[in-house]
Chains A and B, each alone.
Chain A
Amino acid sequence: MKRNKLAIVLLSGLLLLSSCDKWLEQENLMGMSDNQTYSEEAGITSVVSNLYSRMKYWQDFAADGESYDFTRWDEASNNSQYWAFAGNVGTGYREYYDYGFIRELNLHIANLTTISTGKIAADKLNYFIAEARFLRAYNYFVMVVQYGGVPLITEVTEYMDDPLPLAVPRNKESEIYDFIISEMNDIIDDLSNAKSKTRATKGAAMALKCRAALYAGTLAYNHDKSASKTLNLASGATGIEKSKAENYLKACLDAFAELEKLGYQLYIKNTDPADNYYEAFTTEQENNPEIIFCKAYDGVNLKNSFTARAIARTQTKLDKSGAQINPLLNLVNDYEILNTREKKDIDAYAGNERIESMSDYRSSYQYNIYDNPEDIFAGRDPRLAGTILYPGSTFRGLPIDLQAGLAIPTAEGYEFKAARTIGGISSDRYEGQKLTGEDGPLCDGDGNWYISHSGFLLKKFVDAAAGSEINGASKVPYIIFRFGEALLNASEAAFYLNSLGITDYNGHSTKTMALDYINRVRQRAGGDIFRLTENELTFDRIVNERRVELAFEDHRYNDLKRWRVADEWWFNDQQNETATTYVLWPYKIYAPGTPENGKWIYRKMKALHRANNGILSFNNTMYYNSYPMNEGNPNIEKNPNH
């Protein structure tokens, strides 16, 4: 009995006095702990590659998988069978408020500074931290462009029972831009000099600083215009004081100077300027001195299906693909005449310009007659031929077959004969003559998709390599920052500084700098004759230069927003010329025995396969998105005009 009692006492003592908290713990063999991941380079790199894959590029070839955003505004319309999804938008456009991602970036930086210190070589570790700060700053840039000031969170927050201290108000819009610029300044020494185009480098940081500083400077420069549209909030959550313009614009020029020192240049390898401009976007990043930062596609693991979407109907063998992106006449009109540098609309009519209707098959208007279909586009900025395929163009060595129909002269004018459906293209004939070309353009109608609707097709970014449209095999990179954009950013910043009366920057005249930078872009585009004189450099020239040089590179929407003109040029009104989308249809004259036979005329019409009656829509509620309100955070204020 005594022994049993002793045993019981000893056993219970053993149970009570020993600690067995570790006994129930098991190691997680399915994943890696923070300690394991951040102790070796391979672990960090795997986390970083995931972070890069979550970066937000709105018109990235893979992210904008049907090119709805690509064809949203006044550059092109969409002609897939879902073309209506590329229609007008409202205050919910481009919603991106991902603080989950911000938290993970902050966590990554925190882990690098705590766990990895001592286990990874110092210079590599500094690079990883700088790279993460670049990614985080880029994300804040995407948010500030859409929402204005947002809460600036740079530390990891822990769980707390009462989350009220976490309910922070919005930071000022200028504070977010200041953060981006100061972060880029801080990290530049830790970023590598390596010419990798797909990871953060000094060039990428300076290119982001150049763009962000220009955007902030423009908002400050346009402060009064914003006030007249009631866009400035008293707290500063939106709107930047005019007094800050000078520093931002100078920061933009500083960043550009760094890019020059790093050796980035415009791509000039082909003597033909149109081909050169086209190749500047399809040449892979290793051989392209103009690309600063891009997302690379290898066509095998990361597939690029943009070519399949955009290529002409006659050059794709795939069903339901091709010709989804139809450049509009609005863009084509903006390419200047090469020798005179003047802006002139495409000359289709002898006399007053008309706007015709696709359902009118008779016309009594006077047209200009052209011997060849491409003659109407002759003598223009070579970037037109490098960006857009028009009637008479070739691609991959094959001719593009753009023909709307036949124009048969009548007593009053012309009668037009065209196919009404895609099936009719191969079967409908008039006296043995083909009516509509295999590449279009066709009128609207069920099934009239994947063919040109505007009379144009896209060339920029479309891969000339045979077979690259199959299974996403194109290797064309998605360019995020390039030197040409930096030149135009710097030109605009210098132009604004000059307008503000700040005529000197580091011993150079801002006026001359503005002219010089824009002329470097124009010289690459069209040669010496295309350079502007000092008198010719106006704000409108800068607007137009960005329009044609940066076409389809996701700048148009942001530019019109920061210039505070979007609600004028794109105001949804039946009679607003600049908000109306137009097409230009080519017709071949059929009049055997007359000298006009086989020549070409063109008709200007309103686009129909363009949602919402072909008229864009932007009002002053769309300068800043609807701010995601939350009943749990009473300190957040709404965006203006909402």
Chain B
Amino acid sequence: MKLKYIIVTAIIVLGVLITSCEYDNYDAPSYVFSGQLKCDGENFPFDASKSLLRVYQKGYGKVDGSGIGIRIDENGRYQQLFFNTEYKMTLINRSLPFELPDFEPLGTGMGFDSLTYNFTSNVTKDFEVRPYYKLKNMKAELKNGNIEATFNIEKMTNTVKTVPPIVKTRIWLSTSSLVNSNIRCTRVNDVEYVDDTTLKISIPLSEYRRKEIFPNNFRTYAFYRVAIELEGMNEYFLFSDIQKIENLPVD
């Protein structure tokens, strides 16, 4: 009798363990698509809160909307998993302050051409970015209760479209090193030239201490980042890298 029970229980347990549910019949995505946005060999600093690379997969009924986004971090790095199937990769249909030679524009307001990827192994692909301006040598100091940042700009000459003028500068302060355009501690000013290639922007330290933005913020440091806004492009800006300013007074 006992043996019977053991055998029956064993069969049931084995049955549960060995069979797999018919509904779970897709493998998890396993191919890594990774890479880096590069500008002249250096990493291209990016606004991590915005999307740039969009990926579409046909055949599942979803051809409206804007597909799947590839998340790009503050340093222009992306790394994402994909299935073993065909994807079309393109850029988001917005006015961008840089050009990617891999994606051809289709006309004003019409978006960009797409690349086809069929993942059968891991793929590493860097995309070259040609911004209209490069931001360099950013530094900031505390002056009269304001954090004043200065940086150099270099107008680029290797773009297809003519370089639009700079209309505004922006600055963000954050308590963490992940600084992007969603941070609420920000200022935007009309562009202010110190000389032909140096721009300046400042933000009052009191903005950083405001209770609605960062509650109980008694930190003596802040991470900051600047960006320039080009004419006619009010959503995507050209960013500097992220730096830290220390020894901030707490009153």
Contacts and interface: CB of A to CB of B under 8 A. Distances in A.
Q: Do they bind each other? A: yes
Interface of A: 230-231, 357-360, 571, 573-575, 608, 613, 619, 626-629, 631, 638, 640-642
Given A571-B234, A574-B186, A626-B64, 7 more contacts: A230-B109, A231-B109, A357-B212, A575-B186, A613-B184, A628-B64, A641-B93
A357 B184 contact: no
Contact of B235 (A608, A619, A631, A640): A619
Contacts of A573: 188, 234
A637 B108 CA distance: 16
Contacts of A231: 109
B71 interface: no
Contact of A640 (B109, B188, B210, B211): B109
B65 interface: yes
A357 B210 contact: yes
6 contacts: A230-B109, A357-B210, A357-B212, A573-B188, A575-B186, A626-B64
A631 B109 contact: no
B93 A359 contact: no
A608 B212 CA distance: 10
A627 B210 CA distance: 42
A600 to B, nearest CB: 25
A319 B61 CA distance: 46
A443 B38 CA distance: 47
Top-6 shortest CB links A-B: A230-B109, A629-B64, A359-B211, A575-B188, A629-B63, A574-B186
Grouping DSSP codes into helix (H, G, I), strand (E, B) and loop, the B interface class, with mixed when no group exceeds half, is: loop
A626 B62 CA distance: 13
Nearest to A614: B212
A315 B172 CA distance: 46
B211 A642 contact: no
A571 B232 CA distance: 13
A50 B122 CA distance: 58
Interface string B225-241: 00000000011000000
B240 to A, nearest CB: 18
A200 to B, nearest CB: 34
Grouping DSSP codes into helix (H, G, I), strand (E, B) and loop, the A interface class, with mixed when no group exceeds half, is: loop
Contacts of A640: 109
A574 B188 contact: yes
Contacts of B94: 641
Contact of A574 (B66, B93, B108, B184): B184
Interface string B88-113: 00000110000000000000110000
A360 B235 CA distance: 32
A359 B212 contact: yes
B63 A631 contact: yes
Contacts of B211: 357, 359-360
Contacts of B212: 357-359, 608
Contacts of A574: 184, 186, 188
A626 B65 contact: yes
Interface string B214-251: 00000000000000000000110000000000000000
B187 interface: yes
Contacts of B65: 626
A641 B109 contact: yes
Interface string B8-33: 00000000000000000000000000
Contact of B61 (A357, A571, A631): A631
Interface in B17-55: none
Interface in B181-213: 184, 186-188, 210-212
Contacts of A571: 234
A361 to B, nearest CB: 11
A573 B237 CA distance: 13
B108 A230 contact: yes
A357 B108 CA distance: 42
Nearest to B234: A571
A446 to B, nearest CB: 16
A201 B235 CA distance: 47
